Structure 1
Amino acid sequence: MSARAPSLLQLWTRLSSRYLPFADAASTELPLSRLMRLSLFQVSIGISVVLLNGTLNRVMIVELGVPSWLVATMVALPLVFAPLRVLIGFKSDHHRSVLGWRRVPYIWMGTLLQFGGLAIMPFALLLLSSGDAPGQVIAGRIGAALAFLLVGAGLHTTQTAGLSLATDIAPEHSRPRVVAFLYVMLMFGMMASALTFGGLLAEFSEMRLIQVIQGAAVTEMVLNVIALWKQEARDPSRTSAARERPRFGDSWRHFREAGGSLRVLVAVGLGTAGFTMQDILLEPYGAEILHLTVGETTALTALFAAGTLVGFGLSARRLGKGADPYRIAALGGLVGLFAFSCVIFSAPLESPNLFRLGAGLIGFSGGLFSVGMLLTA
Structure 2
Amino acid sequence: MTLSWLQIARLGLVQAALGAIVVLTTSTLNRLMVVELALPAVLPGLLVALHYGIQLTRPQWGFRSDTGGNRTRWIIGGMFILALGGFGAACGVVLLQSSYWAGLALSVLAYAAIGLGVGASGTSLLALLASTTAPHRRAAAATITWLMMIFGIAMTAGVVGAMLHPYSPALLLKIVGIVSIAVCVLTIVAVWGIEARTTALPQPEALPFRQGLTEIWQEPRARAFTIFVFLSMTAYFMQELILEPFAGLVFGLTPGQTTSLSGMQNGGVFVGMLLVGIMATGFKRGSLRAWVIAGCLGSCAALCLISLIGTLGLVAFLIPLVVALGFFNGMFAVAAIGSMMALAGEGRHRREGTRMGLWGAAQAVAAGFGGLTGAAIVDVLRLAQFGDAQAFGAVFVIEAALFVAAALMAMRIMTRTPLQSYAVAGE
- TM-score bracket for the superposition, by shorter chain length: 0.7 to 0.9
Structure 1 residue 319: Cα displacement = 4.5
Q: What per-residue deviation string (whole Å, max 9, x for no partner) do you get for residues 53-77 of structure 1?
A: 1111111111122221111111222
2:105 aligned partner, one-letter code:
I
SS in 1 for 2:101: helix
Q: What residue number does 1:130 align with? A: 98
Residues 340 and 362 in structure 1, CA contact (< 8 A), matched pair in contact too: yes
What TM-score do you get using the length of structure 2 for normalisation? 0.72
1:66 and 2:39 correspond: yes
Q: What per-residue deviation string (whole Å, max 9, x for no partner) do you get for residues 30-52 of structure 1?
A: 34443333322111111112101
Alpha-carbon distance in structure 1 between the residues aligned to 2:58 and 2:135:
22
1:231 and 2:194 correspond: yes
SS in 1 for 2:37: coil
2:314 is aligned, of 351, 357, 368, to 351
5+ residue gaps, structure 1, are 1-27, 96-100, 132-136
Residues 147 and 274 in structure 2, CA contact (< 8 A), matched pair in contact too: no
Q: What residue number does 2:376 align with? A: none
1:371 is aligned, of 334, 350, 356, to 334
1:147 is aligned, of 106, 110, 125, to 110
2:258 aligned partner, one-letter code:
T
| Structure having greater relative contact order (Cα 8 Å, sep ≥ 6) | 2
Structure 1 residue 255: Cα displacement = 3.6
Residues 151 and 249 from structure 1, CA distance in 2 versus in 1: closer, same or farther, beyond 3 angstroms? closer
Q: Percent identity?
A: 26
Q: What residue number does 2:161 align with? A: 198
Alpha-carbon distance in structure 2 between the residues aligned to 1:211 and 1:184:
27
Residues 29 and 90 in structure 2, CA contact (< 8 A), matched pair in contact too: no
Residues 291 and 331 in structure 2, CA contact (< 8 A), matched pair in contact too: yes
Structure 1 residue 238: Cα displacement = 5.5
Residues 322 and 36 from structure 1, CA distance in 2 versus in 1: closer, same or farther, beyond 3 angstroms? closer
Equivalences for 1:278-293 in 2 at 5 Å? 278-293=239-254
1:293 aligned partner, one-letter code:
T
5+ residue gaps, structure 2, are 340-422
What TM-score do you get using the length of structure 1 for normalisation? 0.81
Alpha-carbon distance in structure 2 between the residues aligned to 1:334 and 1:171:
32
Residues 50 and 194 in structure 1, CA contact (< 8 A), matched pair in contact too: yes
Structure 1 residue 317: Cα displacement = 4.9
How many residue pairs end up in the alignment?
337
Structure 1 residue 180: Cα displacement = 1.9
1:115 and 2:83 correspond: yes
Structure 1 residue 128: Cα displacement = 0.6
1:209 is aligned, of 138, 162, 172, to 172
1:164 aligned partner, one-letter code:
A
Residues 238 and 212 from structure 1, CA distance in 2 versus in 1: closer, same or farther, beyond 3 angstroms? same
SS in 2 for 1:303: helix
Q: What residue number does 1:297 align with? A: 258
Residues 30 and 327 from structure 1, CA distance in 2 versus in 1: closer, same or farther, beyond 3 angstroms? closer
Q: What residue number does 2:18 align with? A: 45
Equivalences for 1:29-44 in 2 at 5 Å? 29-44=2-17
Residues 76 and 184 in structure 2, CA contact (< 8 A), matched pair in contact too: no
1:180 and 2:143 correspond: yes
Q: What residue number does 2:57 align with? A: 84
Residues 112 and 316 from structure 1, CA distance in 2 versus in 1: closer, same or farther, beyond 3 angstroms? closer
CA RMSD of aligned residues (A): 2.6
1:38 aligned partner, one-letter code:
L
1:251 is aligned, of 201, 212, 235, to 212
1:251 aligned partner, one-letter code:
G
SS in 2 for 1:280: coil
1:189 is aligned, of 152, 161, 170, to 152
Alpha-carbon distance in structure 2 between the residues aligned to 1:340 and 1:238:
45
SS in 1 for 2:129: helix
Residues 167 and 175 in structure 1, CA contact (< 8 A), matched pair in contact too: yes
More deviation, 252-261/161-170:
252-261
Alpha-carbon distance in structure 2 between the residues aligned to 1:254 and 1:228:
31
Larger radius of gyration between Structure 1 and Structure 2? 1
Structure 1 residue 148: Cα displacement = 1.6
Q: What residue number does 1:264 align with? A: 225
2:7 aligned partner, one-letter code:
R
Structure 1 residue 334: Cα displacement = 1.6
2:303 is aligned, of 333, 340, 355, to 340
Alpha-carbon distance in structure 1 between the residues aligned to 2:228 and 2:2:
35
